[in-house]
Amino acid sequence: MTFAQFVGSGTTGIIGALNTIVVPLIFALAFASFIWGVANYFFLHGGEDKSREEGKQFILWGILGMVVLFSVWGLVNMLLSTLGIAP
């Protein structure tokens, strides 16, 4: 079995599993963190300074996580397409 057969392309193999299951799950967790921060900051405990600060932290880390994920995902896809591993 060669490396190309093992890795596969598109929606098969390890790359396919990462692209279809793991990456969207991590994006969903980062987005959920952002939404939780917005809810905490504006709606849930709006008058309490501690909750607003916690909400700000969730918003910050959610946005930062999504930016890092989009950047790494783009770089990995660019590398894979350059090497001809994924379409």
Is 86 a member of any domain? no
Assign 28 to helix, strand or coil. Answer: helix
Is 4 a member of any domain? no
Is 47 a member of any domain? yes
Q: Are 85 and 7 in contact (CB under 8 A)?
A: yes
Q: Tens digit of pLDDT for each residue in 5-41? A: 545 455 567 767 777 788 888 889 999 999 998 888 8
| Average pLDDT estimate for 50-75 | 88
Q: Tens digit of pLDDT for each residue in 66-87? A: 999 889 888 888 887 888 875 5
For the question of whether the overall pTM of this predicted structure is more than 0.85, the answer is no
Assign 71 to helix, strand or coil. Answer: helix
What is the span of the domain harbouring residue 18?
9-81
> What is the tally of structural domains in the chain?
1
Output the pLDDT for position 22: 81
